[in-house]
Structure 1
Amino acid sequence: MKKYFSLLIALLLINAGVCVQAQTVDKILNSYFENTGGKAKWNKLNSMIMEGKVEAQGQQFPVKMYNQRPNFQRMEMVFQGKTIVQRAYDGKDAWASNPIAGKTVKLPEEQAKELAEDMFEPAYLNYKTKGHKIVLDGKEEIEGTECNKLKLTKKNGDVEYLFFDTESNVLLMQRTTVKQGPSKGTQIDSFMSDYKEVGGLMIPHALTQKMGTNTFTVTMDKITLNSKIDKSLFSFPKKK
């Protein structure tokens, strides 16, 4: 009988701990959404156009990114006066410019799959309905700021980490890993900063990514929300 009660108490304590952690995770996320415009506005966000510049290895290039629900995307840069599509996805085909060959090419299956899984809506928004799981994984200092570290496990098994400022609950960093190619398994730290209000939402206007010894920074000069985007921008160009 004593064993039974001991086991029962242990199970109750475990369940209580899980419930408290779930409440803490939801509290952090709800506070973040409230501080950045509210869940209702985030749920109504259907498209985003970002214009700015990317800086890498001492060079700077104009950049423009188009994103639209559910996972349409296009990123283009201007290099030596020419527009180069770094990547694009229209829900079916993933493609990019090949400057050397002077034409556009479809990307390998692995890269296409990765772009297909790169959804417009953040994984941590409505994460439960998507089948994802998020747990509190302690605290960690990010560039001098104490952060709550959340571990997000997606429905497909992919794992990423989110770091929210413990005081403001603003997202400061996202940690992922390269999923394919020669750099597979390499950690990528994406730092978000310079939050500004756009259409009622607080959106970071600076993103710095660190992968191994490589670092590049994207600075946004203009962000447009919910504007109509011509779907042909995402589509693989037809041969003329």
Structure 2
Amino acid sequence: MVRTLQLFGLLLLLLLAGGTAAYAQDPADANAVIEKYLTAIGGREKLKSIKDLTMTMTADIQGRTMEMETKLKMPNKYKQTSYMMGNEAGGTVYDGTKLSRNMRGQSQVKEGNEAFQEFLQNHPFPELYYDSLGIEKKLAGKEKVDGKDAYKVEYSAGDRTWQEYFDASSGLKVQRTATLDTPRGKSEVAIQFSNYKAVNGIMFPFVRSQKMGQFEMNMETQSVKINKGIDDKQFRIN
């Protein structure tokens, strides 16, 4: 009996050790990292059940509060409006074909692939579309983000490249970096995602910290509403 218990104990230790080794094993490729992330935030089926989404956020900019409202209607309609001291300060609308941005009285319109790529960068779950769009991705090892190990995935689409970092333990996305062309030349942009909370069984980062050059902005999500119904008129471009 004692020998049997000893053998059982040894087998249990081996199983536990094997489970720990499997858990600690690095993912095989970028697809494995992304799949773990999608599972961590709710799973593909849950994400695909979203028909529309409305998010409100606030940001502190040099002592002033900016409010932002984002509306998304699947599969390809998007609208974001910014307000400063109760007045509309600008916004972006994508109607599925064209993207129009209005800021400080100046408007810019993009069409085709350029418009769609900008829309995708503002989509909360762009990973759902990467394979169908042929976006290339590569696992580029581990790096530290806020002192924790994170897997780095590099993406490329045409002449655009960007990087995203996923917490090695939880699988959640914790950072995105890119190099943007600005009127003053190239600028490095980094966005960190934190304080994930569940809404209707889907995890959203309620805090986003963005840094571009000397400019820093912290955004906090105030509310997330899912499948409440949004009229297509909201996405018309005049």
TM (norm. structure 2) is 0.77
1:114 Cα offset (Å) = 4.4
Kindly provide the amino acid, as one letter, of the partner of residue 155 in structure 2: L
Structure 1 or 2: larger helix share? 2
Q: Give the letter aligned to residue 224 of structure 2.
A: I
Count of aligned residue pairs for this structure pair: 211
Q: Following TM superposition, by how much is the alpha carbon of 1:60 offset from its aligned partner in structure 2, in angstroms?
A: 1.1
2:40 paired residue number: 35
Q: Report the identity percentage.
A: 21
For residue 219 of structure 1, what is the aligned residue in structure 2? 220
SS in 2 for 1:23: coil
Residues 183-237 of structure 1 show CA distances to partners (whole Å, capped at 9, x for unaligned) of: 5531211111110001111111111111011011211110012332122222124
- Match 1:47 to one of 48, 52, 65: 52
Contact 2:196 2:206 in 1 (8 A): yes
The answer on whether the counterparts of 2:53 and 2:228 sit within 8 Å (CA) in structure 1 is yes
Q: In 2, Cα distance between the equivalents of 1:56 and 1:84?
A: 13
More deviation, 31-40/63-72: 63-72
Q: 1:9-66 CA deviation, whole Å, 9 max, x = no partner?
A: xxxxxxxxxxxx9833232222212221111112232322111212222221222111
Equivalent residue letter for 2:84: F
1:1-150 aligned within 5 A: 23-97=28-102, 106-109=107-110, 114-117=114-117, 118-119=119-120, 120=123, 122-150=125-153
Secondary structure of the residue aligned to 2:133 is coil
Inter-partner Cα distance in structure 2 for 1:153 and 1:146 = 23
Amino acid in the other structure paired with 2:147: G
Q: Distance in 1 between matches of 2:225 and 2:40?
A: 20
Matched to 1:147, the amino acid is: A
| Structure 1 match to 2:166 | 164
For 2:98 and 2:156, the matched residues in 1 are separated by 26
Q: TM-score, normalised by structure 1?
A: 0.77
Runs (5+) with no aligned partner, structure 1: 1-20
Unaligned runs of 5+ in 2: 1-25
Compare the two structures and name the one with the higher strand fraction. 2
Distance (Å, rounded) in 2 between the aligned partners of 1:31 and 1:114: 29
CA distance in 2: counterparts of 1:184 and 1:87, whole angstroms:
23
